[in-house]
Structure formats: C-alpha cells, structure tokens
Amino acid sequence: MRKFDQLLDETTDVAVHGHVHKQLLRYGSQGQQIINPGSIGTPFILTGKAEKSLSQYVLLEVENGELGTLSNFEKSPMTMKQS
C-alpha cells in the first residue's frame, strides 16, 4: 500500500489516474481509493491482436462533493480499423 501513497496527499480521498491503459483499484495506507479507469481510445491489448481489444471504463457517481457509487469496471469490445 505504501507505494500507492505517493499518488496521494493528506487531503485526498479518491485519486483517479489514467496512464497505463489498464483498469486498477487500489487503496492507500489511510484507505483512500486509487482508481485507473482504463482506456477507451487506446485500450490495453490482452491478446496482442488489436481486433480483440476491449475498451475499458468505470462510472463514478459524485453526490454533493462526495464519492457516491463506484460501479463495476466496464469493458466493451472494440474493433480497430487498419489503415
């Protein structure tokens, strides 16, 4: 958990990062959520074949400045056109 603390400060309850194109939910040492929703436009490739790729995302509900519901991480088939 401590390695994820570098993504947080003492006032952060939830951090959303999106660089590695792969879905992730981890917790900091104080219970803060660290979320990477995945990528829709350039998805993480599971099989090495672009046509088998999945767009990945998550829906977060925020109510009155507070994180409400964190839905399941979603995946949707994606077909990439070759140029």
Q: What is the pLDDT of residues 32-67, one digit of tens each?
A: 888 888 888 776 666 655 545 678 888 888 888 777
* Planar angle of CA 54, 36, 83, nearest 5 degrees: 35
Confidence of residue 4 (pLDDT cuts 50, 70, 90): confident
Q: What is the pLDDT of residue 71?
A: 65
3-class SS of residue 2: helix
Q: What is the pLDDT of residue 51?
A: 46
Counting residues of the chain whose pLDDT is more than 70, the rounded percentage is 75
Cα gap 66→68, rounded to integer Å: 6
Whether the full predicted model's pTM is greater than 0.85, yes or no, is no
